[in-house]
Amino acid sequence: MSNPLQEAFNRTAYPITGHGKRNVQVLKEALDAYEGELDSDVYGAGRLIEDFQGKMAGILGKEAAVFFPSGTMAQQIALRIWCDRRGIKRAAYHPLCHLEIHEQRGLHELHGIEPVLLGGKDRLIDLGDVKELDDTIACLLLELPQREIGGQLPDYGELEAISAYCRERGIALHLDGARLFEILPYYRKSAAEICALFDSVYVSFYKGIGGIAGAILAGDAEFMERSKVWKRRHGGDLISLYPYILSADFYFEERFPNMERYYEGARELAGFFNECHQISTLPEEPVSNMFHVHVKLPKERLEPLLMELYEETGVGLTHYLREKGEASCYFETSIGDRYARIPKDELRRAFALLNEKLAAAL
């Protein structure tokens, strides 16, 4: 599965993205914080799972929360329940929504729900788009930040207006908050304040939080009870989910307080990128810990240049490149624990060298 760029990245002393390697140590470290005598959760019951669900319901400001093995499962189920409540099998979301591009059309194949793609591929859904929805839509999913366009966010006022409009029209509003905790520093709001604009919300524990896997879905008590039935149907009501729950809780406690630092790191790093020839970031000023880096150079020309850079500086910028047309390529960057550990001098030296190499490549 590996490729030369990935291998070169893996050898660098200073990879700029993420918290660290995704290896078994991540779980070992979390488990070390718990006593072996702690009883397993059993089919969704037991203090271990109930306490965490209660804690997350509180943080998200919802009546109840349920832990799911994946966001894919949690979100399909959320949309299914809203569709059932309304008696309409249509849900609206962004053309680059996770459900549209990463789930093999599960929402349609398993739930018979027709997706309605709203807005354009290269921009956020806005109030104007939402006002075009007619009465045949049961619910609208908004993803904050919108990952596939670099992690962009609407102004908070726009979000409030969309929420108010949906409530007025009886359209359920669901938040794909896979990276919800990561946007709190930009909005200067609590998770509960943002979630109050939505009827249901999903959050992930292996993005900015850096856990192993797993998700929380939160909403009103009746909605969440319903979601447990669907969790069972999907095959997600595992006898034990504690390996994910304990690591979610452990890394939440460790990293939730760091979200401001990751956000500031992303802004600084985007600045370094934007000073380079041929490079621009999307968004130009990040609004979370993530952004996309676009380079006006074909992938096959940038790749060897990056590998040289990694070798010469020990700074690893990305382990992959994606083509964007014939003349450009891009990659995604998410800031975690690693970024702050890189000496600033090394980082500046690497970007100066990158800039030279890009200028020479023109």
In the complex, the residues that contact a copy of itself under the rule CB under 8 A are 1, 21-28, 31, 34-40, 42, 45-46, 68-74, 76, 102-106, 109-111, 206, 212-213, 229-230, 232-244, 246
Q: For a copy of itself, which is the closer residue by CB, 299 or 319?
A: 319
Distance of CA 147 to the CA centre of its chain: 7
> What are the φ and ψ backbone dihedral angles of 97, each rounded to 5 degrees?
-60, 150
Q: What does the H/E/C string look like for 82-139?
A: HHHHHCCCEEEECCCCHHHHCCCCHHHHHHCCEEEECCCCCCCCCHHHHHCCCCCCCE
What does the DSSP 8-state code read for residue 248? Answer: H
Cβ contact 56:65 at 8 Å: yes
Q: For a copy of itself, which is the closer residue by CB, 89 or 261?
A: 89
Q: For a copy of itself, which is the closer residue by CB, 115 or 185?
A: 115
Q: For a copy of itself, which is the closer residue by CB, 28 or 123?
A: 28
Least distance to a copy of itself, CB of residue 5, Å:
16
Least distance to a copy of itself, CB of residue 47, Å:
9
Least distance to a copy of itself, CB of residue 247, Å:
8
| Residues contacting residue 198 through CB under 8 Å, at least 6 positions apart | 142, 163, 173, 174, 175
Least distance to a copy of itself, CB of residue 57, Å:
19
Least distance to a copy of itself, CB of residue 76, Å:
7
CA distance 68 to 66: 6
Q: For a copy of itself, which is the closer residue by CB, 37 or 326?
A: 37
Q: Give the N- to C-terminal CA distance of the chain in Å, as an integer.
A: 31
Nearest CA to 262 out of 311, 317, 309, 207 is that of: 207
Least distance to a copy of itself, CB of residue 223, Å:
16
Q: For a copy of itself, which is the closer residue by CB, 119 or 316?
A: 316
